[in-house]
Structure formats: structure tokens, C-alpha cells
Structure 1
């Protein structure tokens, strides 16, 4: 169930990563909570490359934050006027009856990162944020507030673009068409080195038109495309895709998604 061998279980026990339940005859027993902990240890070991000491520290921090989450006030006590992405995410999570730990287990995002994002709306990569939003049945655009208001005509003057709250370092997203529409039209400004920090996918289609700089798009993990000023690029959103600014300066582009699944 945890995807590891019996010898690995015994090793982790000797390293104080796991303490199985013992029967009167000394037999080891693993309940659901322990199996979930084993899966988390395996993920931290294989995906993050953490050593036993770092894994123990991570698990302690996550347990402390999980306890903190259980003692948080009810949503009614949260300022209703607070519409930051982190607060929106916290409301959605609580409405779904999920703890930080359960969301972490489902998405592979650390509890500490989730807790920090809910409090500050900072600390999640674009890819992690997209994965958590999808798990909670929402989209990045909805968390940012882009989908508020009616659809229909939308006029935004040059340089007056409403901006998403900044959640990922070096990534600024400006809205080119407001409201709940079938197309999500955004202007991306990427600082040097800014990236999605991993691949993500969703339903729909995407169109990019480059205004400035250079962007590398990777599809399916092995198809690389470098775009420069004036280039346009279309692809299906269900294909795993990642991106990064590969120029020495700022990269600016128009990015359109349809339908509204971004």
C-alpha cells in the first residue's frame, strides 16, 4: 500500500520515522493514519530527496501545523471582506471538510507551504497552486478574483489592467478581459528566471503571443519550444506543460485560455 518493501519499513522504524502499533505478541500493525504517514515519507524521500533527519523535521512541522489548523476559528470568524487568494483557498478547503494534511496528501504540497499560503497568499509555485486549486474544485482565475462580475463586454484601457494578487515570485498576471467569460485573457510579465516550477495540465486550449523576451515551453516533458518576440503558440491544455523565462530581461506575453479552466 505504501509502495515500499518490508525491509524499508523496518529501516524507517529504526530511524524513528514510523512507530507501528504492536499487538500483545509483538506483531506490527498499520492503521490508515500510519499508512498515510508511510506514503508521505516515501514521497519526501523519492520526490524531495530528503534524508531521515530532514523527513523527521518536516513531519514534526506538518503535525504542528495540522494541530494549529484544527484549532483555527470557524469561517464565520474570518473577515468576510478578505478576498486574498489564500483566504479564498482556506474557505474552500474548510467548506469541503478537508484539513491541511489531507490536501497535502492528495497534492504532494507540504502542509507548511499550504498553511503559509492560506495566511499570506505567498509561498506556492504556479504548478503547486494549480494542483491545489484543481483538488479543491476551483481555478487559479477564480482564486485571483478574475471571475467576479458578469460576462459580456469588457473594456480595459492601455496600462490600466487589473492585476492578480502576486502569489508566485517573479510572475505578474494582468487581466485583459474582466468577468466570467469563456476565454481567460491575461498579460503575463515574467522576471528573469521566473517559471511555473513544474508541469501542470487541465481541460481546454491555450494560445500565447509573445510581446517581449524569450519563453521556453515544455510539453509532455520532452518537447521543447522557445518563443521570441512576435511568435505565437497554440496547444491543448490537457497536455502537461511547464514554462520559464529564458531571457536575461523581462518577458511579456499575451496568454489566452478557453474555456475558463486556468
Structure 2
């Protein structure tokens, strides 16, 4: 079971790309209703953060006023139908993973609202992802795939590529379909294996955007740049070039690029979780 992480107003504002005073304004306008502690402190969970990002996008990119934003947040139309057979035939770098997720949702008889609530994102964010395969945080993507009892490797056909061995030459890595901003995941070993080996390239500011957890164990090795890992919400580890780190995946963990430049690292999970 995933542990619910709650953020104070300053952290939620940073993740949404706005100021704390803007969050208070949106609250007064009825756009967001944070969790209140007994002392009156505002707290925001993952669903709140996704809603804040949507509000920010509607306000600044679409130019909507508060009334229009409230109306827009109420519902999101279902995307147009797509040819699922064409989806299956796509190469790994071109797979519209969002459309495959939509097909899984429809096959399960679930609504956008039901899945969005289960994963902790807004309906509009999930709908956009199903159409474009973009816009989800790394954390949300992990939980969305797990919600349907599958992995990204299965959906992309990665597990079917090789049997017994996998040789991938330098620079010839396949790449996950892009979703999270600033996070590029390159596949170092294909096939149905006990270990999942990836090369992460993180742009400045890139992060998991929240903590997540799952069964298994993880190992990572930083090649360039710097990475901050947070375990259990209160244990901080700063890693630089040449540093390695191992931990149990059941512990809630989040991460971010800790330098102004690009961070590159090797990340291994066992058993496969994506």
C-alpha cells in the first residue's frame, strides 16, 4: 500500500510553480481546498498538487478566470477513439503509452474520475496523459501503471525483445515514451529479466515530484551531476559522481536532480517494477 505524502504550503507551491500567496488566493476563490490540521496548518496531498498544476496551466496558458477554471475542473471530455492495433505495432520509442492506458481503463470499465482518484491526479491531468502520453510526474506514472497490474516494460513490448541475453551497444539505447518533464529513461537491458536496468538523464529541476514505494530492491550509481534521495520522508542523502546507493523499495522514496546541470545515473530495480 502506498503511503500518503502530504506537503506544506511552501512545498506544494514550489511543485506547482507558483507562490504560497497564490495558493491562498486560489483557496479564497474556491479553486482548491487543502487539508487542515487541528492547528489550522494547510497540507496538500498528491491529488492537490496535480490540481494546482492544472489550475496554473488553465490560468496562465489558457487565460481563464476563476469561474471558468472551476467549470473546467468539473469534468473532462473523453478523448477520441484510436486504432489500438496501430498502437501495438509501434516501435518502443514511438509507443503512445497514454492511449494504451486508456484502453486498459476502458477494458476494466473504469471512469477517468475513478482512476484519477485512485492514482492521486486530477481528471484533466489523466485525460491529457491518455491523449498525449505526457504530463504525469514520475511518481504518478509509476502508480498509474501499477494500478492496472502491469508494467511499462510489458506495455511497451520491452519484455518480448530478447530471450536469454541482451546486448545493447553504447548510445543505442531505446527510450521510454516521454512523460515526466525533464526525465529521460534509457533501457540498458531488454527482455523479461529479474533486474530492470536503466540509464536516467535528469534535466535541471527534474524530480519524482513526490514519494512512491513498491516491493523490491534498488541500486543506483551516479555517473555525472548530483542526486538527492529522500527515504521515509525525513532521511536525506546527497549523491555525487561516483557515488552508489542501495535501498529497499518498500520504503517511501523520492528524488530530484540536486545540481544546476544535467544528472546522469544508472538505476537498477529488482524485481521489475516498470
TM-score normalised by length of structure 1: 0.74
Alignment match of 1:256 (pick from 237, 244, 268): 268
User: How has the CA–CA distance of structure 1 residues 182 and 77 changed in structure 2, closer, same or farther, with 3 Å as cutoff?
Assistant: closer
1:80-99 aligned within 5 A: 80-81=88-89, 83-99=95-111
Distance 1:107 1:55 in 2: 26
Question: Which structure has the larger Rg over C-alpha atoms?
Answer: 1
Alignment match of 2:177 (pick from 155, 165, 173): 165
Alignment match of 1:149 (pick from 141, 156, 161): 161
Distance 2:112 2:86 in 1: 17
TM-score normalised by length of structure 2: 0.71
Aligned-residue RMSD, C-alpha: 3.0
Q: CA deviation at 1:77?
A: 8.6
2:143 maps to 1:131: yes
Moved more, 138-147 or 247-256: 138-147
Contact 1:104 1:111 in 2 (8 A): yes
Q: Deviations over 1:227-262 (max 9, x none)?
A: 111111000111110000111211111000001123
Q: Deviations over 1:104-163 (max 9, x none)?
A: 121220011111111111111101111111112122433444333344200001111111
Distance 1:117 1:236 in 2: 29
Q: Deviations over 1:182-222 (max 9, x none)?
A: 11000001111111111111111000011111000000000
More RCO (CA 8 Å, sep 6+): 2
Q: CA deviation at 1:85?
A: 1.1
Alignment match of 1:222 (pick from 195, 215, 234): 234
The residue that corresponds to 2:202 in the other structure is: 190
Contact 1:204 1:257 in 2 (8 A): yes
Moved more, 75-84 or 179-188: 75-84
User: How has the CA–CA distance of structure 1 residues 207 and 162 changed in structure 2, closer, same or farther, with 3 Å as cutoff?
Assistant: same
Distance 2:189 2:259 in 1: 27
Distance 1:115 1:164 in 2: 20
Alignment match of 1:60 (pick from 66, 71, 81): 71
Q: Which runs of 5+ in 2 are unaligned?
A: 1-27, 36-41, 56-63
Distance 1:141 1:62 in 2: 32
Contact 1:209 1:254 in 2 (8 A): yes
User: How has the CA–CA distance of structure 1 residues 156 and 261 changed in structure 2, closer, same or farther, with 3 Å as cutoff?
Assistant: same
